[in-house]
Structure 1
C-alpha cells in the first residue's frame, strides 16, 4: 500500500469519494487504533468515520450505504440465512417501517415473526451518536448479529475454575442446581461473574462436548439421569376401598393456605416388587420431613402403628391434620385418629397435586432410595440421617431458609 498523505484541501468534497481516506481509516481501526484517533490521523470528522463503520439510512437525496465489515474477517463467508435468525433484508424492512412510525407488532406480523423478536432486535441493536437519540441502523445491526453468532463459545462455568469447583462441591452434596445458584448469589454478592442460573448448570451437565462439569455428577441430581428425558404421566394407582373416608374438600381452610403449622401430608415410597416401603410425612407450612420405618411391611396395621409412634413425638400444636391419598395402607385411619386425635383427610382419585409438598419430597427421597431397590435394608438410623439432610437443605419456597430453621422458629415462638 502507498504511503497515505492527508489531502491539502480541507473543503467539502461534494460528490467526490474519499476512497483512500476510507481505506486508511478502516485499516487503522482494524489495527486497534481508537475511532477518534483514526479520524484525526486521516483528517476526517468523527461523524464521517461513524457513518463508514455503521452505514447510514436513506435521507433526502442521500442513498442508504452499507457499513464496512470490520468485525467479521473478510475471508470468512457471511453466514447463510437461518430460519431462527433475522437476516439483513428483514432488518432493512424493520428500519424502514420504524421510520414510518409502524408499531413493533405490525412489523412482526408483516415479517411473520414474534413481536418479542422484533422488540429484542430493536432494543439490542439501536445506536446513538455522542449520547444523543438512539436509532436503529439495519446494516450495523446485521454486523453485530454476525459477530455474536460464531460458535462454539466457552461456557461461563468452563471458563471460571472457582465457579466450577463451587458447583461441583454442592452437586456432590446432592444440592439441586437451583439451590446452588441461590447460594452463589448469597455467597458472592458483589461478584456477578460467580452468578449463574440453574439452566446453565443443567446445560453444563447434559450438553455433550462441553465438559464443564464432571459427567458422573449427573448421578447426584434427583433424577440421576445423564441426559434429559421428556416428562411422562405416571400411572395412577388404583385405590382400594376405604371405609368412612373424609375427603380433602372438608379439610379446614387454614390447612390450604399453609398459614398455621401442624397440617401434614403423607404417602409411601415403595421398593422393588412392592415388598418394602418407607413412610413419608411432610409438614405443609415448614416442609419439615419425617420418615416412617416399616421393617415389617406396609400393611394397614403396620402403617397405623408407625404413624401413631411418630405422632406421639410431636407437640400438641403440630398435630392438626393428616392428608393422604386413597391407598389401602390407610384403611386403619379411624384407629389412628382415635389414638392421636389427628383427623385424616383423603385426596381425590388421581390428584397428586393435592399433596404437592409430599410429592416433591418423595422425588427428593428417590436420590437416596432409588426405585427398584429393597427399602427394608435401611435402618431407622439411616432414615433419620436422610431426613436430617433434607431438613438442612435451603428451600426456595421458604425464602431459602431450611425446614429445620423454619420449624425451630415456630417452636421458639410457641414456647414464648
Structure 2
C-alpha cells in the first residue's frame, strides 16, 4: 500500500538513528559504560574519564543519558544506577543553572599548584554518596585528605546544603587549622552553601569545572572502596556513626603503594605531629 504511514516512518527513523548510535554500534564501549554505571559512576564521570584516558571511541555524557532513557536502557533499569534514580528524565529546558552559585575565583584552575601536586598537607576532597530513592534522602559525606589519603565519613539526613556544611564544620573543627586548609567539591547543589563553611571554620573552597567531578579523583576512587561496605541498595538511615568509623578505620589501616606502603592513618598521624611541633 503506497503513501505515508506515520508509525512505519517513525520506526524507520528510530532504526536509522540506532545504526549511528555509538553505544549500539560499539558493544565494547557499551559494556564499559554499563560497568561504570553499575559501579556508581555518573554519565559525566564516565565521559570525562574516557576523554582523560583518550579512548579511541568516546561518548558524551548526553549520549549516555539518552541511552539510559532509551527503550533498551529502560528495559535494563539503567536509571536505577544514576545519582537521582529518576524513571523519566527532566526536560533539559527546565533545568536550573547552578554556575552562578559558585564563584569563578574558587574554580579549580585557581587552586594553588601546591594543592594540585600534593605538596602541602591539609587539603581535602569531598563528595556525597547517594543511595536508592526508596530509602529517602539520607546520604553519606565522604572526605579524603589528598596527601595522606585519610578518609572520613559523615551522615546526612538529606541533601540540603547548609546542614551538609554544618556536618563538615563539626567534623573538621577539632583539627588544627593547618590540617584543614581547603576542600575541593564538584558543583552539586548540596555544596552551594560553601560560604557558610568558609565562615564557620575558615577553610578555603575549590570547585571542579562544570560536569567534571573526575577532577577530584582521590575521593571518587575512595568512594569505590567505600561502596564495598556502603552499597547503593543499602538503607543509609541504618548506618550508625560507629559503623561508619569502623569502615574508615579499616580503609585508613590499609597500606598504600602511593604512600610507600605506609597506611593513611600513619601518614595522617605523622603530619599532625609535625603541626604540633610547629612544622605545619
TM-score of the two chains, using structure 1 as the length reference: 0.43
Q: Give 1:74-89 correspondences, 5 Å limit.
A: none
C-alpha displacement of 1:304: 1.2
- Could you say which structure has the greater relative contact order, defined with CA pairs below 8 angstroms and 6 or more residues apart? 2
Higher percent of residues as helix = 2
Deviations 1:156-208 (A, max 9, x none): xxxxxxxxxxxxxxxxxxxxxxxxxxxxxxxxxxxxxxxxxxxxxxxxxxxxx
Q: 2:159 aligns with which of 279, 293, 298?
A: 298
* Native 8 Å contact 1:240 1:327 kept in 2: no
Distance, in Å, in 2 between the alignment partners of 1:353 and 1:376 is 27
Structure 2 residue 36 is matched with structure 1 residue 235: no
Distance, in Å, in 1 between the alignment partners of 2:140 and 2:231 is 12
Q: 2:213 aligns with which of 345, 348, 352?
A: 352
Backbone CA RMSD of aligned residues? 1.9
* Native 8 Å contact 2:102 2:192 kept in 1: no
TM-score of the two chains, using structure 2 as the length reference: 0.63
Structure 2 residue 218 is matched with structure 1 residue 410: no
* Native 8 Å contact 1:239 1:328 kept in 2: no
Structure 2 residue 202 is matched with structure 1 residue 341: yes
* Native 8 Å contact 1:267 1:280 kept in 2: yes
Q: 1:286 aligns with which of 148, 151, 162?
A: 148
- For 1:272, the equivalent position in structure 2 comes to 132
- For 2:174, the equivalent position in structure 1 comes to 313
C-alpha displacement of 1:413: 2.4
Q: How many residues were matched structurally?
A: 187
* Native 8 Å contact 2:159 2:190 kept in 1: yes
Return 5+ residue gaps in structure 1 as ranges.
1-228
Q: Give 1:10-409 correspondences, 5 Å limit.
A: 230-232=31-33, 234-236=42-44, 241=98, 243-245=101-103, 246-273=106-133, 275-294=137-156, 296-409=157-270
Distance, in Å, in 2 between the alignment partners of 1:276 and 1:411 is 32
* Native 8 Å contact 2:162 2:196 kept in 1: no
C-alpha displacement of 1:240: 5.4
C-alpha displacement of 1:322: 0.6
C-alpha displacement of 1:370: 0.6
| Structure 1 runs (4+) greater than 6 angstroms displaced | none
Deviations 1:241-284 (A, max 9, x none): 15243211111221001011001000000011162210011000
Name the larger-Rg structure: 1
